[in-house]
Amino acid sequence: MSPCCPRLWLLTCPRNPQLGGWEVIARRQVLSRLQPHRQRALLSAPLAHSRIGFLSEVATILIGQSSAIVPRQAMRTEIAYAGFWRRVLASVIDATLLAGVELAMARSIAVLTPNDFQALANVAPVSAALWWAYFAVMESSPAQGTLGKISLSLRVTDGHGDPITFRRATFRHLFKILSTLFVFVGWLMAAFTPRKQALHDLLAGTLVLREVRYLVIGPEAPSEPGEHWDGAHWVASAPPLEKS
């Protein structure tokens, strides 16, 4: 019940007959949300000043409601271990690009030197050198990954999350031969090892990480205990669960 007009069914205010209709209803709604000392200050003020005060209170209430309704939003970026299927997709992209280059070389040789099987046989060592240079140079570059990895926000690092050298990238590429033996069991290890490492990653001391961008609405939930790389150092909080 409002101190301004105790008879809520009236649409005019006995204390201020100049008020009527919607203004009486609005005053009741505003006064019901105020502290007693602010109610008394508005009711004791002259009508003109009182109207200005009521408008100010209405604006304050509306601003408070809008800030409560609209939740806080922020973009977060975290670093997680790259999952198995993301790595497979990146490998498919890289293999498709390199196979296209190899096919173009083979067709060019076939057109320029037809029936020259020795020239076609030279495509194999050139292709092997191309694959080595592509992976070793790209993964040790500032991009830290091949075109397939870059397209999926993946990057290759050492065990501390730092960029790898050309030498380490070369060994990582050569160790892929061991991963391919025994029906690609070394590649499948990326699906089961704790840090999503394939056999060649374990032997070369490398990690494949990915950036996770997501929108946080409202207060952020505390992170669970664990260990993950945040881009600068290892911290004790678990990375987001891998969805693959």
Residue 135 · residue 149 · CB < 8 Å:
no
Q: Tens digit of pLDDT for each residue in 107-125?
A: 888 888 777 777 777 888 8
> Which pLDDT band holds residue 192 (cuts at 50, 70, 90)?
very high
- Nearest one of 114, 164, 110, 111 to 136, comparing CA atoms: 164
Q: Tens digit of pLDDT for each residue in 1-16?
A: 444 444 443 344 545 5
Average pLDDT over residues 25-31: 59
**Mean pLDDT rounded to a whole number for the chain:** 75
Distance, in Å, from the CA atom of 60 to the CA atom of 244, rounded to the nearest integer, reads 48
Distance, in Å, from the CA atom of 189 to the CA atom of 175, rounded to the nearest integer, reads 14
Average pLDDT over residues 163-191: 92
Average pLDDT over residues 176-198: 91
* pLDDT at position 46: 56
